[in-house]
Amino acid sequence: VVTVALFGWLPLFAGEPIVVASKNFTESYLLGEVIAQRLEQAGMEVDRRFGLGGTLICFEALLAGEIDVYVEYSGTLEQTILKLGQRTSILGLNEHLLSRGLSLLSPLGFNNTYAIAVRKEVAEEFSLERISQLTDYRDLRVVVSHEFLEREDGWPGMRRVYGFDWIPE
């Protein structure tokens, strides 16, 4: 998990508030608030724009200069925004962003990977222990985010690896 910001942004804010945004889900609100409070502790004025929207809305707002900083996931940056199609280091991601006038700040120090959750009674009923077993149960209702449905390391990757031939809701 990384923080994306305008390149060289701190010196640009002589008297102007720093606009901190977040995506529109709980974890993003919390991370945005952490960034905002850290900036305020450093004596800076902050304008909070939490719940701005999804990944691309926040990134486009950053590119347009409408916001100054928001927290982004390195995998989302790599797969959804930059569409690199391969694992890339933080330095590699930063190189791609510098050409757009953006920069990554230091990673926040935790990982947030996708996971598959199944209700306990469903797992017990079908003796589910591995993702690969889901191919046998096409009638199960699978729900994923729109972003996961399109990310190469999301549903398309799972379809390729596990042979799923159906589309979740």
Per-residue pLDDT 10s for the chain (169 aa) are: 666 665 445 545 567 899 999 999 999 999 999 999 999 998 889 999 999 999 999 999 999 999 999 999 988 898 889 988 788 898 999 999 999 989 888 888 888 888 889 999 999 999 999 999 988 887 878 888 888 888 888 899 899 999 988 878 7
Task: Name the residue ranges covered by the structural domains of the chain.
Answer: 2-104, 120-162
What distances in angstroms separate CA 114 from CA 44, 73, 77, 151, 155, one per listed residue? 34, 11, 15, 12, 11
Indicate the helix (H) or strand (E) that contains 41. Answer: helix 26-41
Instruction: Write down the CATH superfamily of domain 2-104.
Output: Periplasmic binding protein-like II (3.40.190.10)
Task: Report pTM.
Answer: 0.78
